[in-house]
């Protein structure tokens, strides 16, 4: 097998992957894609009968897994807490990152880490800027939330321990059962306050994210790459497609900058809502573009339909 995971004929060889978070939304898709491509998959779940039950945050988690898994080509770390509670992440996400590093080390396996597009410093960018892998990284994660802080710390843990790891900075994942996101505005019952019109919504269809994760494991790709759909809609186009679901019933345009003043005046209020925090407002609502050139160069075999086709499919399959 070559370094890119192919045999002498250029065909992808069957490999053995360990997938953490295999029972999660993205984890299930990764397992399905890997098995469809003919790979052997060992599923690691926090609890349940669908794989090896192991809480990665427990002391000795890696050692316990190594007693059951004797060899593997790659570990795909898709386990993730979605909470914005930093205390929870310190107790769960960060020890889990250390465990998967030790697991990959013990197996002599490549490590693929599912990170997030949220790690960039959006407040440092100008309106209309293009976000790519060279964009500045968030320097004040405490001004965002615990999820962002955790993703940044996980990347630090993993890249320090495994410099050759694949780090996938995935956009807002959507698909069946998950068709909205935090980049649209404020939902008030049947009403949506659309806080911006211009700028792309940084989406990653769950199938795209799963295919890229498996390809990164197959090819042993090194370094960070943004995982984003090639056909990214602006907010008007996204909401137009979303309206076929029956929501929103009414869209009220509202400039995103109106939250800047109140957010500044209420700066003393540590628990103020997200959009009243400057760094959160810029991350979610500032009109920006997103570039996936590096992803397409590294994984040119991954092709996806147009946005409207994917949204229609997601709403049909809910």
Instruction: With beta carbons less than 8 A apart as the criterion, state whether 279 and 140 touch.
Output: yes
- Which of 122, 148, 235 minimizes the C-alpha distance to 186? 235
Domain ranges for the chain: 16-178+201-230+292-309
What is the spatial distance between Cα 170 and Cα 194, in angstroms, rounded to a whole number? 24
Average pLDDT over residues 138-147: 93
318 pLDDT above the threshold of 90: no
Q: With bands split at pLDDT 50, 70 and 90, how would you rate the model's confidence at 273?
A: low
The sign of the dihedral angle between the CA atoms of 116, 119, 121, 123 is positive
Q: What is the pTM of this model?
A: 0.94
What is the spatial distance between Cα 294 and Cα 238, in angstroms, rounded to a whole number? 24
The mean pLDDT of the chain is 93
Residue 8 pLDDT: 45
Residue 268 pLDDT: 61
Average pLDDT over residues 129-157: 96
Name every residue whose Cβ is closer than 8 Å to that of residue 309 and which is 6 or more positions away in sequence. none
Residue 23 pLDDT: 95
55 pLDDT above the threshold of 80: yes
Residue 267 pLDDT: 62
142 pLDDT above the threshold of 60: yes
Query: Which residue(s) pair with 137 in the sheet?
Result: 120
Task: State phi, psi for 242 to the nearest 5 degrees.
Answer: -65, -30
Would you tell me which CATH number, out of the four given (3.30.590.10, 3.30.930.10, 3.40.50.720, 3.40.50.11030), belongs to the domain 16-178+201-230+292-309?
Answer: 3.40.50.720
The sign of the dihedral angle between the CA atoms of 117, 85, 193, 138 is negative
User: Per residue in 107-125, is it b (16+ CB within 10 Å) or e — as a string?
Assistant: bebbbbbbbbbbbbbbbeb
Cα 28 to Cα 31, 33, 199, 206, distances in angstroms: 5, 9, 31, 10
**What Rg value do the Cα atoms of the chain yield, rounded?**
20
Average pLDDT over residues 214-229: 98
Q: With bands split at pLDDT 50, 70 and 90, how would you rate the model's confidence at 60?
A: very high
4 pLDDT above the threshold of 70: no
Residue 12 pLDDT: 74
283 pLDDT above the threshold of 80: yes
Crossing angle, helix 307-316 and helix 235-242, to 10 degrees? 30
- % pLDDT > 70, the chain: 92
Length of the chain measured in residues: 318
């Amino acid at each position: 097998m070559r370094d890119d995971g192919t045999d002498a004929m250029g065909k992808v060889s069957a490999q053995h992957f360990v997938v953490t978070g295999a029972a999660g939304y993205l984890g299930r898709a990764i397992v399905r894609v890997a098995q469809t491509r003919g790979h052997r998959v060992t599923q690691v779940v926090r609890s349940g009968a669908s794989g090896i039950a192991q809480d990665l945050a427990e002391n000795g988690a890696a050692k316990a897994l190594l007693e059951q898994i004797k060899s593997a080509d790659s570990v795909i770390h898709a386990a993730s807490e979605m909470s914005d509670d930093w205390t929870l992440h310190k107790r769960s996400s960060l020890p889990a990152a250390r465990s998967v590093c030790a697991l990959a080390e013990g197996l002599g396996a490549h490590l693929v880490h599912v990170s997030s597009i949220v790690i960039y410093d959006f407040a440092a960018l100008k309106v209309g800027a293009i976000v790519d892998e060279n964009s500045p990284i968030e320097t004040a994660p405490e001004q965002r939330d615990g999820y962002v802080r955790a993703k940044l710390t996980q990347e630090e843990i993993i890249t320090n321990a495994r410099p050759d790891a694949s780090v996938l900075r995935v956009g807002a994942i959507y698909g069946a059962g998950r068709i909205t996101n935090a980049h649209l505005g404020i939902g008030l019952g049947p009403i949506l306050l659309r806080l911006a019109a211009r700028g792309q919504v940084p989406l990653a269809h769950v199938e795209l994210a799963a295919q890229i994760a498996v390809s990164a494991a197959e090819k042993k790709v090194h370094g960070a790459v943004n995982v984003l759909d090639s056909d990214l809609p602006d907010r008007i186009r996204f909401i137009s497609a979303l309206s076929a679901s029956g929501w929103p019933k009414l869209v009220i345009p509202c400039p995103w900058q109106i939250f800047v003043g109140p957010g500044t005046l209420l700066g003393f209020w540590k628990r103020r809502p997200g959009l009243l925090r400057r760094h959160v407002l810029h991350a979610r609502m500032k009109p920006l573009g997103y570039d996936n050139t590096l992803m397409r160069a590294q994984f040119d075999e991954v092709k996806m339909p147009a946005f409207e086709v994917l949204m229609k499919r997601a709403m049909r399959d809910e």
